[in-house]
Structure 1
Amino acid sequence: MEIQNYKNHRKFYPPHHFIYSPLLILLEFFGVYKIFTDKPNQVIWILFSVIIFLIIYLSVMIRQHYALELQNRLIRLEFKQRYFEIFNQRSDEIEEKLRFDQIAALRFAYDDEFKKLLYRALNENISGDQIKRNIKNWRADNYRV
């Protein structure tokens, strides 16, 4: 398995990202094209385009919403566990001071960098992207949705 880092940490689901979604987008463009070129059946093509658009919208929203909400909860739980293991304290007050992008970015850091980057996130308010860019020894997260 390839070593994970900032440049390759995003994950794609090929059937959805490279087949289903592009096919729906092509159908949507085709429907819009037919609206302007097939005047006798314009109403049918408008309906076709609206239905395809709704399918695109629903497929994106449903697929992402449930997975991301669950993933976000797990990331917060992981942060709480790591914080407790490292500092032997509850993380409630610390977690309230951090934005989710900061918490999510910290999961890529090993414990020694985690401490330093957590300190910077709390005191310098660096963004999640800045945290990721400052990680020297990337801790892979290969189980994301």
Structure 2
Amino acid sequence: MTEQNYKNHRKFYPPHHFIYLPLLIALEIYGIYKIWDDAGNQLTWVLFSIVIFLLFYLAFMTRQHYALGLQNRMVKLEFKQRYFEISGQRSDEIADQLTFDQIAALRFAYDDEFKELLNKVLQKNISGDEIKRSIKNWRADNQRI
């Protein structure tokens, strides 16, 4: 496995992203094409296209909703635990000042940079993407969903 960094930290699930969703997209395109090509069965192809679109939407949203919802909760808990371990103080007030994007970006920094970047975020309110770009020594997260 290659070393994780800003450019390659996104993750794909091949059966979902490269087989199931493209297949649904192809079926949707085919259904829309058949609406105009097969005038005798136009209503059937409209219904077919609607069903395929709903399957695509449901597959996309369900996967995103459950996985990201759980992952976001864990990222916030990880931030609170890490902040406590580094500072010895509760993080409730600090966590309330940060967006989720900022909290998520901070997890890619090792402890020495974490403190520096957290102070920078609190003072200048930089975005999560700016935090990621500022990390000098990337801390890989290979267990994301």
TM tier relative to shorter chain: over 0.9
Q: Hey, what's the Cα distance between the residues in 2 that align with 1:122 and 1:42? A: 58
The residue identity in structure 2 corresponding to 1:126 is I
One-letter code aligned to 2:4: Q
Percent identity over the alignment? Answer: 72
Query: Is 1:99 matched up with 2:102?
Result: no
* TM-score, normalised by the number of residues in structure 1: 0.99
Opposite residue 113 of structure 1, the aligned amino acid is: E
Question: Partner letter of residue 16 of structure 1?
Answer: H
Aligned match of 2:28 = 28
Which string of whole-angstrom CA distances, capped at 9 and with x for unpartnered residues, describes residues 61-95 of structure 1?
11110010000000000000000000000000000
The gaps in structure 2 that reach 5 residues or longer are none
State the partner residue of 2:2. Answer: 2
Map 1:77-96 to 2 at 5 A: 77-96=77-96
Once the two structures are TM-superposed, the CA of residue 2 in structure 1 deviates from its matched residue by 1.3
Q: Which residue of 1 aligns with 2:108?
A: 108
CA distance in 2: counterparts of 1:61 and 1:15, whole angstroms: 16
| Deviation for aligned residue 1:42 | 0.2
Moved over 2 A (4+): none
TM-aligned CA deviation for residue 45 of structure 1: 0.1
| TM-score, reference length from structure 2 | 0.99
